[in-house]
């Protein structure tokens, strides 16, 4: 899902970045006009790109090497690479778009790149808070996700 939505967001960002300024749609519900549009678009990119690059230990295909499945749901231990990938990829996308816009009759504004980066940070904050909430739910219920969890049986009865 993360990859599909990331591709959709990138396609929309590229389309809206390179269409003529006269045909650019006015989105009245996003505050701060143009910079708000940049922040919203790159927040969506940051949210979905993070999900697309996130690798949770113990998920996915089992490798031939017998690894013991992990049962941790701590974001701090395995989200770092995805955060870095998201910030770098989003900043590069924003930079390339800003460099190419004059070729399409649009102006290059470096404050747009700053708004793009702030949007990435907002998108990452939202997805990390969401995953923290989901992780807290499952941490309190290990029988839902941990294949090694066994109900403690009181054998003294």
The pLDDT tens digits of the residues spanning 75-123 come to 555 788 899 999 999 999 999 999 999 998 888 888 999 999 999 999 9
Mention every residue, 6+ apart, whose C-beta is less than 8 A from residue 35: 111, 112, 115
The pLDDT tens digits of the residues spanning 41-67 come to 999 999 999 999 987 665 555 555 555
Higher pLDDT, 24 or 120: 120
Q: Which of 81, 98, 104 is nearest to 42 (CA)?
A: 98
Q: Which residues of 122-148 are buried (b: 16+ CB within 10 A; e: fewer)?
A: bbbeebbeebeeebeeeeeeeeeebee
Name the pTM for this structure.
Answer: 0.74
Q: How confident is the model at residue 33 (pLDDT cuts 50, 70, 90)?
A: confident
């Amino acid at each position: 899902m993360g990859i599909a939505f990331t591709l959709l967001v990138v396609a929309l960002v590229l389309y809206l970045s390179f269409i003529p300024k006269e045909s650019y749609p006015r989105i009245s519900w996003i505050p701060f006009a143009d910079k708000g549009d940049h922040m919203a678009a790159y927040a969506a990119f940051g949210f979905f790109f993070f999900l697309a690059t996130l690798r949770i230990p113990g998920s996915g295909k089992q490798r031939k090497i017998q690894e013991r499945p992990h049962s941790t749901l701590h974001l701090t231990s395995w989200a770092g690479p995805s955060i870095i990938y998201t910030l770098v990829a989003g900043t590069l996308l924003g930079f390339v778009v800003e460099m190419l816009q004059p070729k399409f009759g649009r102006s290059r504004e470096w404050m747009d790149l700053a708004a793009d980066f702030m949007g990435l940070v907002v998108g990452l904050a939202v997805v990390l808070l969401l995953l923290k909430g989901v992780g807290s739910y499952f941490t309190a219920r290990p029988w839902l996700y941990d294949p090694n969890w066994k109900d403690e049986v009181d054998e003294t009865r």
